[in-house]
Structure 1
Amino acid sequence: MTAPTLAPATAPVKIPAARRPYGAVLAGAVLGLVVLAALLAPLLAPYAPDVIDLSASLAGTTGDHLLGTDSSGQDLLSRVLYGARTSLVAPALLLAIAAVLGIALGTLAAWRGGWADTVVSRLTDVMYAFPGLLFTVLIIAVFGAGTTTSVLALGLAYTPTVAKYTRSVAIGERRKPYIDAYRVQGMGGLRICAFHLVPNLGRSVIGYLVVLFGEALMSLATLSYLGFGAQPPSSDWGLMVQEGQAAVVQGALLPALVPGVAIALVVVSFNVVGVRAADRLANGR
């Protein structure tokens, strides 16, 4: 009798380790440093952002001016540090306005359906058909240029985007059993939406707003560059690029390059972190 053959032992399957999000970690570190620099600007900046020294006009990188100066002799490092405050706070306020209006409209359309959904959908479609930047410029033409007007105008321009996203998410959330359970208990629609439906949309909406932050920052910088946003003597990054543009002809690149690099770095970092945050929040992690 032949001995029974034993089946060969199978080698353990190696499960590849999850790739670490090094890009998101690096982008998060960059944003952390930018926020810290904005908060500590009075301590880190070697000069006040509005100090003019014509004798140091368009100076290159020196021991006194690590990033050079602009045509008025203002220290670029100091201006960039102080400008980070406006460049970070203004997009946050803009998105707060868009979130309040957009979430309200999107939730209303998803909850009520019917004519309410039709009206909100047509309204957002009309605003989508109208270029957001042109809409913002028209509002600024009526109420005047400035950071406050730009934030309010862009907040309205971003409202349809947030409303459409909220509506799409809220429609799926509205069909879940817990909504019917609250209705059976006699709870009103306004209370269900305010205390249960909207909070459960929080993860998805917040992740989406983080993704929009970089775009909002770029939109505000564009308005300042065109002369519709922040006004002199502000250290807004978009305005700094506009003011440094004339110096490029004279061979001085730093006045436009320094704030331009700062804008690009923060926008790219927010996009990377935003996509990562949106994925994690959507998956409930």
Structure 2
Amino acid sequence: MTTVTAGALVPVTIRARRPLQVVVAGGFLALVVVAAVCAPLLAPHAPDAVDLSASLAGTTSQHPLGTDASGQDLLSRVLYGARSSLLAPLALLALAAVLGVTMGTVAAWRGGWVDTLLSRVTDVMYAFPGLLFVVLVIAVFGDGLTTSILALGLAYAPTIARYTRSVALAERSQPYIDAYRVQGMSGARICVRHLVPNLSGALIGYLVVLFGEGLMSLATLSYLGFGAGSPSIDWGLMVQEGQDAVVQGALLPALVPGTAIAAVVVAFNIVGVRVSDRLGHGR
């Protein structure tokens, strides 16, 4: 916002402050990323080191967050588990974005029967609950983290396609599109070089919002036994492995990774909404 000081014609620019929760959430996510990258340096123990004498130990100087039933240090496992827990959603969103952005852009650009056909395809995919669709894919191709990423990428593609179509339709009506067409530029070239890049702000903001949902979905699949499996270190798998200890009164094996999942998902939602507002509206 620009104002004029009294008795002068000097414009003064006032920058809106970022909300405190956005700063806190962004700082927390930065720490999580740094912790994941520097896990070998920060982890006090090897993530797969078994010490049965320390089984289900509470918080101690040697194990700040306690241990699981096998005596493995929870802090070390959470730090190492952050790697797959953050990279896997990134991979599934990359796949979903390639498919969804392509479908949405083609539907918005071509219109007519192409738009109708692609819309019906997304409607059919929407008819199946996301988790059911993913389980069906896993039942056909087998479980594992790679299959989960592919299945969730296909499940998220229609959502991204619909969003892309809506913003591409508005962008397609801009005068510069007609100017490029008058110059004889092909539709494919206009979309790749101009239309999609101009949509990148809104799309990136939307994908950041979806990142937390993707992380939660992958953690859910790992918890159900369809995603990452032992000896992999994954937050969702850690919750599944730690649930038996809850019956014995040991809450930390399930609580620590569960809290990490919840905190990261909430932080990504907060930051994602802010990024979407900033990039989507160009403020």
For normalisation by structure 1, the TM-score amounts to 0.93
Specify the alignment match of 1:176 in structure 2.
174
Tell me, what secondary structure is at the counterpart of 1:136?
Answer: helix
Give the aligned partner of residue 131 of structure 1: 129
Aligned to 1:198: 196
SS in 2 for 1:65: coil
Q: Secondary structure at the match of 1:47?
A: coil
Secondary structure in structure 1 of the residue aligned to 2:36? helix
Equivalent position of 1:230 in the other structure: 228
Tell me the residue number matched to 1:86: 84
Larger Rg: 1
Amino acid at match of 2:111: G
Give the distance between the partners of 1:19 and 1:105, measured in 2 at CA: 37
- Structure 1: gaps spanning 5 or more residues: 1-15
The CA deviation at 1:155 is: 0.3
Of 231, 256, 259, the residue aligned with 1:258 is 256
For residue 146 of structure 1, the aligned residue among 133, 144, 147 is 144
Using the alignment, how far apart are the partners of 1:168 and 1:258 within structure 2? 40
**What are the within-5 Å matches in structure 2 for residues 37-48 of structure 1?**
37-48=35-46
Q: Secondary structure at the match of 2:67?
A: coil
Task: Establish whether residue 63 from structure 1 lines up as the match of residue 58 from structure 2.
Answer: no
2:276 pairs with one of 253, 273, 278: 278
Identify the residue that residue 4 of structure 1 maps to in structure 2.
none
1:139 maps to a residue whose letter is: V
Query: What is the aligned counterpart of 2:157 among 154, 159, 168?
Result: 159
1:74 match: secondary structure: coil
Work out the CA distance in 2 between the residues paired with 1:171 and 1:20: 31
SS at structure 1 position matched to 2:48: coil
Separation in 2, partners of 1:20, 1:166: 27
1:242 alignment counterpart: 240
User: How many residue pairs align between the two structures?
Assistant: 270
- In the alignment, the residues of structure 1 paired with residue 91 and residue 168 of structure 2 have an alpha-carbon distance, to the nearest angstrom, of 24
Asked if 1:211 corresponds to 2:209, the answer is yes
RMSD of equivalent CA atoms: 1.1
Question: How many percent identity over aligned positions?
Answer: 76
**Cα displacement (A) at 1:275:** 0.3
SS at match of 2:275: helix
Inter-partner Cα distance in structure 2 for 1:124 and 1:79: 39
Structure 2 matches for 1:21-60, cutoff 5 A?
21-60=19-58
SS in 1 for 2:171: helix
Superposed CA offset, 1:201-247 (max 9, x none): 10001100001000000000000000000001111000000000000
Q: Where in structure 1 do 4 or more consecutive aligned residues deviate above 6 Å?
A: none
Q: From the superposition, tell whether residues 161 and 26 of structure 1 become closer, same or farther in structure 2 (CA, over 3 Å).
A: same
Corresponding residue of 1:119:
117
Alignment match, 2:4: none
Distance across 1 between alignment mates of 2:281 and 2:102:
24
Residue 48 of structure 1, CA deviation: 1.2
Q: Which consecutive unaligned segments of at least 5 residues does structure 2 have?
A: 1-13
How far residue 17 of structure 1 moved from its aligned partner, in angstroms, is 8.5
- Asked if residue 95 in structure 1 is aligned to residue 93 in structure 2, the reply is yes
The offset of 1:19, in angstroms, is 5.4
